[in-house]
Structure 1
């Protein structure tokens, strides 16, 4: 590939646009613009923000919610035929995932044909859902702490034709429910199994949710009605289980708990809720990492159906994967408002100074390693023993910068001439850090705390992609900084996974010669591959898959809170666009 050319197919791999859920809806057009494809229309993200004068906005692509709901239902239906499973599917949306009005409205509308229900866990969620109280009964699974205030609202839902099932997690819940004999209950049981991942602590015997079996046995003696009223078994494995072996183990344990409860008198249980363990692929490369699960929806349903179809009487299975349903629908887009050097840059006066002799005897990466280690020791010692004047400090910074750039140029030259030497680079921590370090800091008009708080709270990975020039090779690796005063308001990690074979010269960015990819290898970079904006260009960056949890978790750090919204929907084959100002008013 010529260095001035850039294959859009390679761009899709580098920026994570080959995705099983976003599919062809979030795509790239022939001129390199990030587009949203709905029906026959391709809407350029950059144009959408410029048209409305926004430096930052949330774009909500509601048809992505509908598409994912349909995929879940159809995948289950097809696999149920394969396994001759007769129990059926009962999908529910956990409102904690995203309880804002536009999302709940979409779940209600799109879910009508599937009788998509809701899972709630608080009084506030019930009050919000009351908007739909008289619009036709769905299933409502309540798994929060039960109180008389909660029960008053649940009585209204039941009276309007909703099927209400209340999870039991403690003796407190049973005391309250003793006064409401008309309600069906669910048994939320703690599994022994504890999977890996960021939310592993929420499962297992020490987890926050559910009853242990020995507690259930004791409560059964006091509350004789438990057996008769139990309709549902609920087992929570933790969120975002990314390893298939953990999913298999959890499903097998859930099956065992169900069959054991049935054999010990709980024969009225007819529904099994396996919680929200299905992982959303924030990076869809099947690596078996926290960002990229090594399985998908087909494998998930296939194993569940294979296991539960062994039973003589098949239960109804609850699908509760809310993150999987709504993550893709929201795109955060922000304009670059400033570009700064990540560390020191060469002064113009130093560019005539030659440091080539420093590298004159380097013939291989091994030679370079020895030289870099010696140089590092020298710099460290110099910093400790020398008190610099301002002039000396300026010169020292310039020399360090020039030597660093020469080192990067030398690595590029050596790898280009002998690609196999890249192994020596990536296996040496110092060289790898050098060659994958950012050279720029892009300041964007957004707030990580307000717009993608999970980036700070749990180090959640979100896919970053430029909204334009995807048909051009990236110039630099850059850290993304927000407008807050907090040092945590940055995105400084990027995962690259490109499979297409490329010449070694194309593994590096164009301007700062940073390593951005190795065909067939997963790389963790210290910055995002981006272009240097042309003078006068509005350069926008999109952050994908921000539709789950980010809205309800948003903070008011620096009093920066939220962004205007662009709502895209399809009505009667036409694309409908609504704009919501930051204060919540429709334009």
Structure 2
């Protein structure tokens, strides 16, 4: 079964207005929750909503009945004193994705009577965390699944962790002399290294070093494809692509290597048309073009053995199974089939051997295995503050008019009421700016304005036709839920490239969500918010969530964060990395899981040290100042000791809010 894209249930999704109406006027079911959050559709078979209303995780594709209650994981974390926000990694999902990719390629190769092999590599840049690399290398060992490195630090890591002599280590990215020396070092210790030439000048450096070190390199040539990808990164391919050689440069490279007696070193043809390819037609076109380039080079006597199709295997972030930037219109099986059968057909037509196929799928391997869990710690609502609006003597006529509208409004004149109160509110602000309106009067107008909007929203919910302006009232009245996390650290793509990440309550999904919300984080930056969510046809600006219950924790999960999000977070506001736990499934455990490891997130002294502060000296400064105040009698000695201890505890503590 293809787990990378689950089929749609065929049920109609709710719009934001329909969700609010359904939540208030009908019996909410798990099916309604699924329509709202599309968990099965983006969950890839790994996530679903249980009958008890909690998110369940099935981390093993071959054991669908093994389910982990995510709320139980969170409860166990809390019992162990692990503070939130936190990252939860399901390492079994990593293994499942690696196994499925390799098994699908092997099955298609056998089905097609394809004569080459599949030797995939995981691009380290997608998630450089050691635990992730270790798990992927271990899961891929029986498939000879290797690594791809695009920088010197990544190459250094790959040399140490990809020790399987039968798996590839593909080296991309621009290379200086030190990078190339490291690559040749790898060849000397029997690593299966392929050095991909991105720029013609790299080739002359490599030839010189290979002669100096007396070692034959294994060379890949990256072709600058004419076909362009689809999606956010389509500009990374085509004639203006950052990487790769033109056809003329490739032929010149072949000639140069032949003249140097190194033509036999050319083993791989590489191309890449972009990440997150949303449209399968781009893959088909790329296979057509690259297979012809491969065939013609082989016919010229170039001893190519591999074709690297690059990355781009997409995941369906929004569950729409479309060509939206956050989705894709194909699944794993179709992707693999188009590559295998495409190369077979074109190579047979050109009478050349079938190449070994290499792919660099990273996003699809890692995205699902990691999620961010954050606690909602408050609500910001535009009409949440009430103010006494009782009539006073000599009040301004604008206040009186607003009160009269509130007292006399009827259901059938909602549009007229809306037009009138908008005008009155604007007049009130103008009057205040001219100095003829008091703060008390302005507060009364604001309070009545928001009360009237709430009444209009209630009145129009069940109407068949709602005027365009009135449809905007739900968004105007939507709450902002304050969540204990940093968008910049934990959901960087949401802020930087408008990536839609699935966000779902961890529990209470069997209850009616009655609030339309956006999310704001605890940073002091106005961009620290998420207001792009899975919508019915387009991206929605709000998400349906539940009313907060005093004294009861309300957790949200930000899912599909295992690709790039884990490693792209910055030090904005000095929040640093999150606490994280590594969860493994275990069928014999009553809860079907155990927490294998806890990795502490950044402490305050960690992030300050990163920014060149010296926490020890900072603590000494505070201690001296407190001692001075003790000597002056402004602070009592015992209080002084407690204050010093408190400052030092804060230095050692978690950077996020304690809630």
Q: How high is the TM-score relative to the length of structure 1? A: 0.85
Say if 2:351 is the partner of 1:317: no
Give the whole-Å Cα distance in 1 for the aligned partners of 2:329 and 2:308. Answer: 23
Residues 442, 479 of structure 1: 8 Å contact kept = yes
Aligned equivalent of 1:243: 279
Q: Is the 8 A contact 2:287 2:343 kept in 1?
A: no
Q: Does 1:29 align with 2:50?
A: yes
Q: Which has the higher helix share?
A: 2
Describe the SS at the equivalent of 2:103: helix
Q: 1:295 is paired with a residue of what secondary structure? A: coil
Q: Which residue pairs with 2:342 in the alignment?
A: 307
Distance 1:370 1:92 in 2: 63
- For 1:83-98, list aligned pairs within 5 A: 83-98=112-127
Deviation at 1:385, TM superposition (A): 6.1
Deviations 1:474-511 (A, max 9, x none): 120111111111111111121234xxxxxxxxxxxxxx
Work out the CA distance in 2 between the residues paired with 1:217 and 1:540. Answer: 58
Give the deviation of 1:530 after TM superposition.
0.6
2:70 matched residue in structure 1: 44
Matched, 1:128 2:150: no
Does residue 233 of structure 1 match 2:269?
yes
**Counterpart of 1:284?**
319
Deviates more, 1:479-488 or 1:195-204: 195-204
Aligned-pair distance for 1:380?
4.6
Q: Does 1:298 align with 2:337?
A: no
Deviation at 1:406, TM superposition (A): 2.4
| CA positional deviation for 1:79 | 2.6
| Aligned counterparts of 2:58 and 2:80: Cα–Cα separation in 1 | 19
Q: Determine which of 349, 366, 375 is the counterpart of 1:335.
A: 375
Match of 1:347 among 352, 375, 386: 386
Aligned to 1:406, the other structure's residue is in SS state: helix
> Following the alignment from structure 2 to structure 1, what is the Cα–Cα distance between the partners of residues 587 and 164?
22
Partners in 2 of 1:135 and 1:300 — Cα distance?
27
CA distance 1:346–1:538, change in 2 (3 Å): closer
After superposition, what is the alpha-carbon deviation per residue over 1:40-73, rounded to whole angstroms, capped at 9, x for unaligned?
4523334244323322110000111111112212
Write 1 or 2 for the structure with the bigger share of strand: 1
Q: Matched residues in 2 for 1:356 and 1:245: separation?
A: 60
Contact 2:162 2:169 in 1 (8 A): no
Structure 2: which 5+ runs fail to align?
1-21, 392-402, 607-659
Secondary structure of the residue that 1:535 maps to in structure 2? coil
Partner in structure 2 of residue 257 of structure 1 = 293
Q: TM-score, normalised by structure 2?
A: 0.77
Deviation at 1:198, TM superposition (A): 1.7
CA 523–51 in structure 1, closer or farther in 2 if over 3 Å, else same: farther
Which one has a bigger Cα radius of gyration? Answer: 2
Aligned mates of 1:33, 1:13 — CA distance in 2: 15
For the aligned residue pairs, the C-alpha RMSD in angstroms reads 2.7
Cα pair 2:158 2:169 within 8 Å, conserved: no
Q: 2:598 aligns with which of 560, 579, 582?
A: 579
The one of 35, 40, 55 equivalent to 1:18 is 40
Instruction: Report how many aligned residue pairs link the two structures.
Output: 543
Could you tell me whether the CA contact under 8 Å between 1:189 and 1:210 is conserved in 2?
yes
Whether 2:512 is the aligned partner of 1:473: answer: yes
- Equivalent position SS for 2:125: helix
1:565 is the counterpart of 2:605: no
CA deviations over 1:107-156 (Å, ceiling 9, x no partner): 11111111111110111012222332656552110012233322333233
Distance (Å, rounded) in 2 between the aligned partners of 1:469 and 1:571: 25
SS at structure 2 position matched to 1:496: coil
Tell me the secondary structure at the aligned position of residue 355 of structure 1: helix
Change (3 A) 1:218 1:42: closer
Q: Is the contact between residue 477 and residue 526 of structure 1 (CA under 8 Å) also seen in structure 2?
A: no
